[in-house]
């Protein structure tokens, strides 16, 4: 385990951090889905599949089972810990392999880029979507990823990785 003196997220997440992460994530996801839906509902099903891959793949099999927050502190940044425990059956200690890293990166690249084509004809939705994406991804990369305790995550930017 990492030196907890260096980890500012060692004892869990504040209500503000959880609200920041969850509201911005669901905001851009819902705006993206709605923007696609009003243009062509069939393509919105594709985005729905990408969105549902987050809890079904990322949270269940990739990063979240390796996060010590759920197991050591009973906390989760992205969902209520009770919901996360329903998704994750057992903790994983092995690092992400190449395929897992590739799937993780693909999902988190598709989430913000997939809807842009359909949103481009709705400037207000596009601006709201990009703002919500910027808030979520900015918070992840510039705040949470710099304090992450999941050492095998490809976006972990901590200076004290294992």
Question: Could you tell me the CA-to-CA distances from 88 to 85, 109, 130 in Å, in that order?
Answer: 5, 23, 30
Burial of 5 per CB tally in 10 Å (0-12, 13-18, 19+) = exposed
Q: Give the Cα-Cα-Cα angle 106, 135, 160 (nearest 5 degrees).
A: 70
Q: What is the pLDDT of residue 137?
A: 94
Q: What is the pLDDT of residue 1?
A: 41
Q: What is the pLDDT of residue 30?
A: 97
Q: What is the pLDDT of residue 83?
A: 87
> Residue 88 and residue 127: Cα distance in Å, rounded?
35
Low-confidence ranges of the chain (pLDDT < 70): 1-11, 159-162
> Residue 111 and residue 157: Cα distance in Å, rounded?
21
Chain center to CA of 49: 15
> Residue 63 and residue 59: Cα distance in Å, rounded?
6
Q: What is the pLDDT of residue 6?
A: 53
């Amino acid at each position: 385990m990492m030196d907890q003196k260096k980890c500012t997220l060692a004892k869990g997440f504040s209500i503000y951090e959880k609200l920041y992460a969850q509201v911005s994530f669901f905001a851009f996801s819902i705006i993206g889905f709605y923007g696609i839906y009003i243009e062509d509902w069939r393509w919105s099903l594709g985005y729905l599949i990408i969105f549902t891959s987050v809890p079904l793949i990322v949270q269940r099999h990739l990063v979240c089972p390796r996060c010590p927050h759920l197991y050591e502190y009973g906390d989760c940044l992205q969902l209520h810990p009770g919901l996360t425990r329903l998704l994750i059956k057992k903790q994983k200690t092995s690092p992400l392999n190449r395929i897992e890293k590739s799937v993780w990166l693909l999902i988190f690249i598709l989430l913000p880029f997939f809807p842009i084509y359909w949103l481009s004809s709705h400037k207000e939705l596009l601006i709201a979507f990009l703002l919500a994406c910027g808030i979520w991804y900015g918070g992840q990369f510039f705040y949470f990823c710099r304090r992450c305790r999941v050492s095998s995550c490809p976006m972990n930017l901590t200076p004290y990785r294992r």
